[in-house]
Homo-oligomer: A and B are copies of this chain.
Amino acid sequence: APVRVNGFVCKNPMEVNADNFFKAAALDKPRVTNKVGSNVTLINVMQIAGLNTLGISIARIDYAPLGQNPPHTHPRATEILTVLEGTLYVGFVTSNQPAPNRNKFLSKVLNKGDVFVFPAGLIHFQFNPNPHKPAIAIAALSSQNPGAITIANAVFGSDPQISDDVLAKAFQVEKNTIDWLQAQFWENNHN
């Protein structure tokens, strides 16, 4: 069967069916949170092929008590998020500003039903400040393949490792601090 792209759809329209636009039981169940206390379940073009070219995806995010979705960016998408359960402290940092200004940190505490926007490509996070209760959010992203870059993991947990000379100077710490950081286990909470 020929691949059909651009202008043409990628599958023969007469062979398309509802399953190409559907994912069952995708976002209903709490999932085990990781080391930093979160788990992002993203439904993108890998899960639903019909999303190809359509420019959107959706995710459920589970947060353990005091868990966080740590500072990260989406290289190809803006994110809009609403809280389903619990409370989240969220924020993003604006891009570099002319001196003497610094990168601005914009944050909010979100309760159930609040909506917040993380503009495309900016570093952002969500944190569940409640020590006893989990939190749940639904987020949508403006790409069928938004990508995610967890900052700490990409910087300190890459394969192979970035030179510790470079990172020591960039982060203004001793090389052995970088070495220690690079020796940790950096577990992504979403792909």
Name A's B-contacting residues (CB within 8 A).
2-3, 5-8, 10, 13-14, 16-18, 21-29, 36-37, 43, 45, 47-48, 50-58, 60, 66, 68, 70-71, 73-80, 82-84, 89, 91-99, 101-108, 111-123, 125, 127, 138, 140-142, 144-145, 147-163, 165-167, 169-173, 177, 181, 184, 186-188, 190-191
Q: Are B80 and A57 in contact (CB under 8 A)?
A: yes
Give which listed residue, B144, B149, B165, contacts A121 with CB less than 8 A: B149
Secondary structure class of chain A's binding surface, majority of residues: loop
Most buried by B among A24, A99, A117: A117
What are 18 sample pairs from A and B whose C-beta atoms fall under 8 A apart?
A5-B10, A13-B97, A21-B92, A26-B113, A26-B115, A28-B83, A36-B169, A56-B80, A93-B158, A104-B158, A121-B147, A123-B151, A127-B166, A138-B138, A151-B155, A151-B170, A156-B171, A172-B184
Q: Are B16 and A10 in contact (CB under 8 A)?
A: no
Q: How far is the CA of A74 from the CA of B54 in the complex (A)?
A: 13
CB distance from A57 to the nearest CB of B (A): 7
Q: Are A93 and B55 in contact (CB under 8 A)?
A: no
Q: Are B71 and A170 in contact (CB under 8 A)?
A: yes
Extra A-B contacts (12), CB below 8 Å, given A17-B106, A27-B113, A101-B159: A8-B52, A16-B94, A26-B82, A76-B120, A96-B154, A102-B188, A103-B153, A103-B188, A105-B161, A125-B166, A151-B155, A156-B171
Taking CB atoms, residues of chain B closer than 8 Å to A73 are: 73, 75, 121, 149
Give which listed residue, B5, B53, B56, B101, contacts A140 with CB less than 8 A: B56
Q: How far is the CA of A147 from the CA of B7 in the complex (A)?
A: 11
Contact A28:B113 (CB < 8 A) given known A91-B162, A191-B97: yes
